Amino acid sequence: MNSVETKDVHLYYGDFHALKGITMAMRKNQVTAFIGPSGCGKSTYLRCFNRMNDLIDGVKIEGDILIDGVDIYKTNIQVDDLRKHVGMVFQKPNPFPKSIFENVAYGLRVNGTKDKQFIEERVERSLQQAALWDEVKDKLKKSAFELSGGQQQRLCIARALAIEPSVLLMDEPASALDPLSTAKIEELIHQLKENYTIVIVTHNMQQAGRVSDHTAFFYLGELVEYAKTKTIFTNPKDQRTQNYITGRFG
């Protein structure tokens, strides 16, 4: 089953044609990695899935994007509802200047949950899912900024999980972290895919190889090649893909 499906998606920043007709489908409970050089459109494409591109002036999007079968650019779609359904983790850990507990509870609170007990349970569960609970259970009231970078990033993952999305978008989630923290995040991705569909943008080729089931290579706003990760890394069909993953680009 496909969790995310796009048909002939074009995106323009003013006059700049950033995405050129992308048609692809991401399977449910699988990890799909987007790779490609900077400016190839992979992050832009990812941000279409939770309509983060709406925040940028002068962006025009054409084509269909379906999340769990729903066309998310239809007029009756509420963007905040969509974003509850499609969580996102960013490149730089960006916890709010609040306590660890409040960071995870934030998504629930802004979406109108008042039940204290429910919030407490959900916070604990999300922190456990993000493999952070044991490290922070005794200091939930402490500021999130007291955590290390890797812990902060897992906190951001817990924060996204708390509102129970079905799709989790990760935009270079480990690029600002040290190798140990990176390994933890990657391990986490393997566990999370049981319950979530994960789409990850990464500049780290080995990371794409380690965590993803399918890999898509983007170049100059086009989807050049999309196949099983194993195939992409052993026998890519397109010369551009080959040049990119073997480091012989440009």
Partner 1 sequence: MAFGTPSPSHKSKKLSQSIAFFVFRLLSFSVVAILLVILGFILVQGISVISWEFLTQMPREGMTEGGILPAIVGTLWLVVGSMLFAFPIGVLSGIYINEYAKDSWLKRFVKLMTNNLAGVPSIVFGLFGMTLFVNQLGFGDSILAGSLTLGLLALPVVIRTTEEALKSIDNSFRVGSLALGATKWQTTSRVVLPMAFPNIITGLILSIGRVSGETAPILFTVAAYFLPKLPNSIFDQVMALPYHLYVISTSGTNIEASRAMAYGTAFVLIVIVLLVNLLANWLRRYYGKKVKMN
Partner 2 sequence: MNQLDKELLQIKTKVEEMWTLVDFQLTSGKEALLSSDEELARRVIKSGKKVNAYDIKIDRMCENIFALFNPVAIDLRWVLAILKINSNLERIGDYAESIASMLKEATPPIEPTLLEESRLLKMFEATEAMLRDVRQAFLEENTELARQVIKQDKRLNKIHAKTDKVLMQYFQTNPDNIYQSLKVAGIIRKLERIGDHTTNIAEEIVFYVDAKVVKHKQKKKRNKDKE
Q: Give residues in contact with partner 1 (CB under 8 A).
A: 50, 52, 55, 57, 80-81, 83-84, 87-88, 90, 92, 94, 96-97, 106-107, 110-111, 143, 145, 156, 159-160, 163
Rounded least distance, CB 67 to partner 1, Å = 14
Q: Which is nearer to partner 2, 221 or 236 (CB)?
A: 236
Q: How far lies 141's CA from each of 44, 138, 162, 202, in Å?
A: 36, 8, 17, 33
24, amino acid identity? M
Residue with tokens 């129970």, as numbered in its chain = 164
Q: Which is nearer to partner 2, 222 or 238 (CB)?
A: 238
Helices (H) and strands (E) in the chain, counts: 10, 10
Rounded least distance, CB 249 to partner 2, Å = 10
233 binds, among partner 2, partner 1, none (CB under 5 to 8 A by kind): partner 2
209 binds, among partner 2, partner 1, none (CB under 5 to 8 A by kind): partner 2
Q: Which is nearer to partner 2, 23 or 231 (CB)?
A: 231
3-state helix, strand, coil split of the chain in percent (to 5) is: 40, 30, 35
Q: How far lies 53's CA from each of 12, 120, 143, 153, in Å?
A: 10, 32, 30, 22
Q: Which is nearer to partner 1, 47 or 214 (CB)?
A: 47
- Measured CA to CA, the distance from residue 51 to residue 78 in angstroms comes to 10
Chain contacts with partner 2 (rule: CB under 8 A):
205-206, 209, 232-236, 241-242, 245-248
- Measured CA to CA, the distance from residue 154 to residue 111 in angstroms comes to 21
23 binds, among partner 2, partner 1, none (CB under 5 to 8 A by kind): none
